[in-house]
Amino acid sequence: MPGLEDLYREIILDHYRTPRNRGELESPPAIRADGHNPLCGDEITVYLALDGTGDDAVVSDIKIGGQGCSISQSSASMMTQAMLGKPVGEVRALARRFKTMMGIEVDDEQQSDADIALGDLEALQGVVKFPVRIKCAVLSWNTLLQALDTP
């Protein structure tokens, strides 16, 4: 279905050309995590501000920095939009769902994850056709999870 592929390509390029939520948050109080993909040189920094504690804490702000290919940068931009305003429990579930879509086995996957709608994030599903690019797409997601696991 070429029309759908063209739409997905345009969504990815739009997020690459005009990334959302670029910048920094003061750390602390924001949590900062850095990710790096040594295979292609992609680098990402995720800044995360939470209101509350535990899985009920809500992502009140999220910013990204770094540089890399169009896949890593657009995935990071789309991720920030999907996470803003969500409780940490939902953030983790959405990250599991996204990684599953990318063909990555997730240890803590739950039955309900399959019901999570990905919206524009589905534009990245074509990346699975290029296994070497999957790490580019999930770099920001892994870095976000690393930030959430920071004590």
Could you report the per-residue pLDDT of 3-21, keeping only the tens digit for each? Answer: 667 778 889 899 999 999 9
Half-sphere exposure of 1 (CA within 13 A, CB side): 5
What pLDDT score was predicted for residue 27? Answer: 85
Structure tokens at 108: 């803590």
Amino acid letter at 7?
L
For residues 21 and 62, the answer to whether their CB atoms sit within 8 Å is yes
What proportion of the chain, given as a percentage, has pLDDT over 70? 97
CATH number for the domain spanning 22: value is: 3.90.1010.10
pTM (2 decimals)? 0.91
For 91-112, b/e burial (b = at least 16 CB within 10 A) is bbbbbbbbbebbebeeeeeeee
Give the span between the Cα atoms of 123 and 129, in whole angstroms: 13
pLDDT tens, 82-91?
A: 999 999 999 9
User: Pairing relation of β-strands 31-37 and 42-51?
Assistant: antiparallel
Q: Which of 47, 55, 9 is nearest to 31 (CA)?
A: 47
| Domain interval for residue 134 | 2-148
Give, as one character, the DSSP assignment of residue 83.
Answer: H
Structure tokens at 38: 């040594």
List phi, psi (to 5°) of 101.
-60, -35
Give the span between the Cα atoms of 26 and 17, in whole angstroms: 25
Work out the mean pLDDT of the chain and round it to a whole number: 92
Q: How many domains does the chain have?
A: 1
Element (H, E) at 140: helix 131-148
